[in-house]
Amino acid sequence: MTWVNQSLSTEFVFLAYPTYSELQVLVFLGISLVYFMILTGNVLIVATIYMEACLHTPMYYLLGSLSIVEIWYTATVVPHILVNTMKRHKANTLLGCATQMLFFIGLGSTDCFLLAVMAYDRYVAICCPLQYPLIMTQKFCINLVVTSMAIGFILSLQLVAFIFHLPFCHSRDIEHFFCDVPPVMRLTCTHSRFHELSVLVAGTLAIALPFLFISISYALITFAILGIHSTSGRRQAFSTCSSHLMVVLLQYGCCMFMYLRPNSSYSPKKDQLLSLVYALGTPLLNPLIYTLRNREVKGALRRVLTRNVFSKKSCP
């Protein structure tokens, strides 16, 4: 009860926003445009997968789940950034900051685990093609998605509870756009090796372990593809993995640089720019990568966009 009462009266003030009104308008319009493109791209992917029977497969079910997670992931911070951009007093309460971090880290961790699940799906499809229909059933896919979300939010809840039970110093000014782990940890009065290691362990479980699983999966996939004698077969196998691999490198590259490093390397200006990359850039590029590099998705999306009310075209 004491923490709740304190959270309602304590505010974090964000210092990363521009102060000139002209620049505020430009930033607001730019972020609004990117956010519109994120929502449009991911909603189109979800709608296309839902409406096209030829995309009712485990791979595209997982892709649709990833798009849904990223819609909610951006919704936790982007509307907050847009509102604060035009406000004079750019602040958030202690409870609001903790809630934002809980969902941002929870959905971001879910994103990482889903990418690992998608790597497993590609491993089974390429290395165990005969067992693929028996292993990757609809029920098993649903369980994988639910488990990914559950683990992501359990890790996030533990991390947020740990951070917000630390004593904060008198200054509550955050050199950032929203409540993220590194800038908030800079405001705590207890800077010790134990606290730094605690955050690093949480980041390892949510980022490093899934990335290790993905690396092992793709190593096995590579060996299996190299064993294919047909050149067209190898090309087709690589094409099914290339889009996912590009998204993995983009997502994990930003996350590892942001969360798996010592506090001594924290740079407010660089981290502000990086935060916009993984909060806006990754959710924007993911649907573009999957639609531009995947023939099935491009074809299905084209049919959905051009189909009239009375026409019914089956999948090729």
The CATH code of the domain that includes 37 is: 1.20.1070.10
Judge whether 8 lies within some domain: no
Neighbours of 190 (CB within 10 A): 11
**pLDDT (0 to 100) of residue 310:** 42
Judge whether 5 lies within some domain: no
| CA angle at 285 for the pair 280 and 286, rounded to the nearest 5° | 105
> What is the residue range of 246's domain?
18-306
**pLDDT (0 to 100) of residue 277:** 83
Task: Give the chain's residues under pLDDT 70.
Answer: 1-9, 170-171, 191-192, 233, 237, 240, 262-266, 292-293, 307-316
Judge whether 1 lies within some domain: no
Judge whether 10 lies within some domain: no
Judge whether 130 lies within some domain: yes
Judge whether 281 lies within some domain: yes
**pLDDT (0 to 100) of residue 309:** 40
Judge whether 313 lies within some domain: no
**pLDDT (0 to 100) of residue 308:** 43
**pLDDT (0 to 100) of residue 147:** 96
- Domains in the chain, number: 1
Q: Is 301 left (phi over 0), alpha (psi -120 to 50) or beta?
A: alpha
Judge whether 208 lies within some domain: yes
